[in-house]
Structure 1
Amino acid sequence: MHPIRPDKTQPITFQGALALTFVAWFAEVMVSMLLRPFLLRHGMQPMAAASLVRVVCYGLVFSAMLHVNGLTYRRLFHEGPASVGATLGVLGPPLLLMVPLILLLDSLAMMAVNALLPMSRGEAQMMSEMANGSIGAWALVCIIAPFIEEMFFRGILLRGMLKRYGQADATVYSAFVFGVAHLNVYQFVIAFAVGLFVAALYCRTRSLWPGIVLHMGLNTGATIYAAVAPDGNALETPLGLWAIAVPLGLLGARILRRLLWRPTADAAPGGTEPPPDAA
């Protein structure tokens, strides 16, 4: 077991995390205003243009933050005591087993929020565009967003808040900021819940990879579901799918709990420990 190396990450307050999130959003808006019209004039699809703009914008933000904190991309992604391959090999399967159940529960939560606060035409159109089946939309939602959001919200903000607060407070604060960043109440609920879970994964493994795998699985599953059944909801889902998703999700959760949260006297510094057989 290798100790976690110290880094120069600066402490971030909750208010500071909200401010940095606003700065990142504002930078994306400004870059989009400059680049998006040019890209569209040259035949690029709107969602593909949005993907490129986000990569350029957040690449600049990450470069600045990593320079300030004295980090490399390699250290940002993984500093756990186990190797990347071992971490993903052990934690990846149970995380993916949980994806269908999380998506069904997300659909129920969306229905409940929509019943209280009916979605406007503009918001419905935005959701529809994210599931329009274009290559740009798939790349943005299923690949680019998971990497960028995990790097920013867990790799930068959560990491900094762990220097300022206790683990429980930093986890809740980072999840709240992650939910707010989605800019609509319909995605806030599931984003906050997933943010809590992924932050706990990061605190336990000191790796962004488990969160990226889960994030990609959820976004890909949601995109496929929206494309196959655009007007569907959890109450209309066949019982057979529930019968498969529930036991698989509970099995994945049980395996993950045994791997990461069983009592042990051999926890690594900072409250982390390698998954069994992964060190």
Structure 2
Amino acid sequence: MAWFVELMLTMLLRPPLLRSGMQPMAAASLIRVACYGLVFSIMLHAGGSSYRKLFHEGAASVPATLGMLGPPILLMVPLILLLDGLAMIGLEALLPLSAADARMLTEMTGGGIGIWVLVCLIAPFIEEMFFRGILLRGMLRRYGPADAAVYSAFVFGVAHLNVYQFVIAFAVGLFAAELYCRTRSLWPGIVLHAGINTGVMISAALEPENTVLEAPVGVWALAIPLGLAGAWMLRRLLWRARGAGTTKSDTPPDAA
């Protein structure tokens, strides 16, 4: 339904927006925000829910959740990006990039401010709202937490429509699903998603032709300990919160 609404709005709004001087990616960002805002509003209203409940139902406040979990999540981002780079090298060795795939990946990390806003800001919010806020919640009503996390992460990976992004998307989907199950909040997943997307864009802007194997030794030397420290901190925080009864990953939240 969201895809259909976006298609209709694109046909109606894109030509006048471009004629007014707006850049193509900026126009796409504006249309996507309008589309998903409309679709989510209808779905939430039909389900008797609200954006507030969709984003956060945890026992801890939003500032407390972000303050505790945001820093360790961001510490893990550089290491996640390096591991993703290694996975990409392996995939490209098995399945060489076609000209169309290479052009698509280049276009996704190039362009002006419109693509940065779309990838680093709009996509994390919209995708977390759908894949964890709606899809994962619905699956948690039918399946156990582990199955629901795997199913939703698989759909998240497939939605990227190419095998090269599937691996990182599936892994991030599993991580974000676990964050949601333990916190009942979309905000940790949004931080994770935005951090990874922003890191990809910065890497592409600074070193567009280099692979992860060409990264300076200092990058690895810094990313590995910081990433492991972030993972350790996050595990302790989530275990402590779960032990205190603030989250229970084995009890599915109410559907939106």
Q: TM-score range by the shorter chain?
A: over 0.9
Give the 3 Å change call, closer, same or farther, for CA 264–222 of structure 1 in structure 2.
closer
* Residue 219 (structure 2) aligns with: 241
* Residue 65 (structure 2) aligns with: 87
Q: Which runs of 5+ in 1 are unaligned?
A: 1-22, 274-279
Give the 3 Å change call, closer, same or farther, for CA 272–119 of structure 1 in structure 2.
same
Give secondary structure in 1 for the equivalent of 2:192: helix
For 2:140, which of 149, 162, 169 is the aligned residue? 162
The separation in 2 between residues aligned to 1:263 and 1:131, in whole angstroms, is: 37
Question: Residue 180 in 1 paired to residue 155 in 2?
Answer: no
The separation in 1 between residues aligned to 2:33 and 2:65, in whole angstroms, is: 26
Residue 190 (structure 1) shift: 0.3
Residue 100 (structure 1) shift: 0.2
The separation in 2 between residues aligned to 1:126 and 1:35, in whole angstroms, is: 24
* Residue 10 (structure 2) aligns with: 32
Q: Which runs of 5+ in 2 are unaligned?
A: 252-256
Question: Residue 138 in 1 paired to residue 113 in 2?
Answer: no
Query: If the length of structure 1 is used for normalisation, what is the TM-score?
Result: 0.85
Q: Residues 157 and 169 of structure 2 are in contact (CA less than 8 Å); yes or no, is this contact kept in structure 1? A: yes
* Residue 207 (structure 1) aligns with: 185
* Residue 5 (structure 1) aligns with: none
1:65 corresponds to which letter in structure 2?
M
The separation in 1 between residues aligned to 2:138 and 2:196, in whole angstroms, is: 26
Query: If the length of structure 2 is used for normalisation, what is the TM-score?
Result: 0.92
* Residue 100 (structure 1) aligns with: 78
Q: Residues 65 and 156 of structure 1 are in contact (CA less than 8 Å); yes or no, is this contact kept in structure 2? A: no
Q: Residues 133 and 227 of structure 1 are in contact (CA less than 8 Å); yes or no, is this contact kept in structure 2? A: no
* Residue 64 (structure 1) aligns with: 42
* Residue 89 (structure 2) aligns with: 111
Q: Residues 85 and 212 of structure 2 are in contact (CA less than 8 Å); yes or no, is this contact kept in structure 1? A: yes
The separation in 1 between residues aligned to 2:240 and 2:63, in whole angstroms, is: 22
Residue 264 (structure 1) shift: 6.0
**What's the CA shift string for 1:248-274, capped at 9, x where partnerless?**
00000011011113596543464389x
Give the 3 Å change call, closer, same or farther, for CA 126–243 of structure 1 in structure 2.
same
For 2:200, which of 222, 238, 251 is the aligned residue? 222
Give secondary structure in 2 for the equivalent of 1:119: coil
1:104 corresponds to which letter in structure 2?
L
The separation in 1 between residues aligned to 2:48 and 2:176, in whole angstroms, is: 24
The separation in 2 between residues aligned to 1:254 and 1:175, in whole angstroms, is: 23
Give the 3 Å change call, closer, same or farther, for CA 30–116 of structure 1 in structure 2.
farther
Q: For structure 1, which segment, 73-82 or 116-125, has the greater mean C-alpha deviation from structure 2 after superposition?
A: 116-125
Give secondary structure in 1 for the equivalent of 2:188: helix
The separation in 2 between residues aligned to 1:219 and 1:264, in whole angstroms, is: 29
The separation in 2 between residues aligned to 1:263 and 1:29, in whole angstroms, is: 43
For 1:153, which of 121, 131, 142 is the aligned residue? 131
**What's the CA shift string for 1:67-86, capped at 9, x where partnerless?**
22211101110000000001
Where does structure 1 differ by over 6 angstroms across 4 or more consecutive aligned residues?
Answer: none
Give the 3 Å change call, closer, same or farther, for CA 114–216 of structure 1 in structure 2.
same
Give the 3 Å change call, closer, same or farther, for CA 41–254 of structure 1 in structure 2.
same
The separation in 2 between residues aligned to 1:75 and 1:263, in whole angstroms, is: 20
The separation in 1 between residues aligned to 2:195 and 2:4, in whole angstroms, is: 28
Q: Residues 59 and 247 of structure 2 are in contact (CA less than 8 Å); yes or no, is this contact kept in structure 1? A: no
Give secondary structure in 2 for the equivalent of 1:261: helix
Q: Residues 72 and 234 of structure 2 are in contact (CA less than 8 Å); yes or no, is this contact kept in structure 1? A: yes
2:135 corresponds to which letter in structure 1?
L
